[in-house]
């Protein structure tokens, strides 16, 4: 029967019985096409949340050193100085002696981080001495000469107001105050008999100097101080002469200081 059918009709029947294979190129293009936006949104993983920016740290405070004065607030200073002492008045030599002085200073106010105001308490010992020739009465108008020492010493206690300017390592300062001086004179010489004199007098002080920081806590300096007695006393000698034994003084000293 199939042989009797015309060829065109036979081709049509075969086309209906077996569907044509799909076009491979069209299928590959469909698979390669991007998925719709809705599918991408559903299948994609959520983007990680952005981390918050770290908080800005406050600026660090520069470390204090010898180039920078310490910040405002109380400050304690301990010091010791030693040097030469000079008599500026009085009728008794020698004129040159030595002195040493421990002191304590408290800074109670700092202005503009540069000017420091404080109080200083100090104790000062001054001594002047000279080798002299004295005579001992051996009796019967006989005198024997011997070597002795003429001494003049002071113990001073004082309280001063200080003003210090901080200029990096350099710290110039001035001070003024009042105190009490205890003086003692001793000599075996006949012209200064009875030879032992003591006095207690108020004194005024003026001082200044320059300190240099070699470390944060340690300073070295050069100090100059004037100490003047109020109502200078005169002493009456056995000969009837009146002399001024205790006078004003000027000291120039090297200092070592420790601050904390």
Residue 259 pairs in a beta bridge with 77
* Rounded CA separation 240/192 (Å): 10
Which pLDDT belongs to residue 135? Answer: 79
> Do 191 and 220 touch, CB atoms closer than 8 A?
no
Which pLDDT belongs to residue 171? Answer: 95
Which pLDDT belongs to residue 30? Answer: 47
Which pLDDT belongs to residue 68? Answer: 46
Task: List, in order, residues 6 or more apart from 101 with CB less than 8 Å away.
Answer: 80, 81, 82, 122, 123, 124, 125, 251, 253
Which pLDDT belongs to residue 143? Answer: 74
Which regions in the chain score pLDDT beneath 70? Answer: 1-74, 140
> Do 173 and 156 touch, CB atoms closer than 8 A?
no
Which pLDDT belongs to residue 29? Answer: 46
In the numeric block, the tokens 């949104």 are attached to 41
> Do 220 and 212 touch, CB atoms closer than 8 A?
yes
Q: How far is CA 180 from CA 54, 60, 89, 231, in A?
A: 64, 48, 18, 12
Which pLDDT belongs to residue 204? Answer: 97
In the numeric block, the tokens 């107001």 are attached to 161
Which pLDDT belongs to residue 87? Answer: 94
Could you tell me where the DSSP H helices lie in the chain?
Answer: 7-17, 24-32, 37-43
The region that residue 11 occupies, defined by phi over 0 for left and psi between -120 and 50 for alpha, beta otherwise, is alpha
Instruction: Tell me the CATH architecture of domain 75-259.
Output: Beta Barrel (2.40)
Q: How far is CA 53 from the centre of its chain?
A: 40
């Amino acid at each position: 029967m199939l042989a009797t059918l015309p060829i065109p009709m036979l081709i049509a029947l075969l086309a209906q019985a077996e569907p044509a294979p799909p076009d491979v190129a069209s299928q590959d293009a469909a698979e390669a096409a991007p998925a719709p936006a809705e599918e991408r949104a559903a299948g994609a993983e959520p983007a990680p949340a952005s981390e918050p920016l770290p908080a800005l740290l406050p600026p660090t405070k520069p470390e204090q050193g010898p180039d920078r004065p310490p910040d405002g607030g109380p400050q304690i200073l301990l010091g010791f100085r030693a040097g030469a002492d000079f008599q500026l008045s009085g009728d008794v030599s020698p004129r040159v002696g030595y002195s040493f002085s421990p002191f304590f200073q408290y800074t109670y106010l700092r202005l503009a981080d540069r000017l420091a105001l404080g109080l200083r308490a100090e104790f000062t010992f001054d001594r002047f001495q000279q080798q002299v020739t004295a005579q001992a009465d051996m009796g019967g108008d006989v005198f024997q000469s011997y070597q002795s020492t003429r001494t003049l010493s002071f113990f001073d206690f004082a309280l001063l107001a200080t003003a210090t300017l901080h200029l990096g390592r350099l710290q110039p300062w001035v001070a003024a105050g009042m105190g009490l001086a205890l003086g003692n004179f001793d000599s075996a010489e006949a012209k200064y008999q009875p030879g032992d004199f003591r006095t207690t007098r108020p004194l005024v002080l003026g001082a200044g100097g320059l300190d240099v920081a070699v470390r944060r806590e340690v300073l070295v300096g050069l100090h100059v101080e004037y100490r003047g007695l109020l109502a200078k006393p005169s002493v009456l000698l056995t000969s009837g002469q009146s002399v001024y034994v205790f006078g004003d003084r000027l000291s120039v000293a090297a200092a070592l200081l420790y601050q904390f």
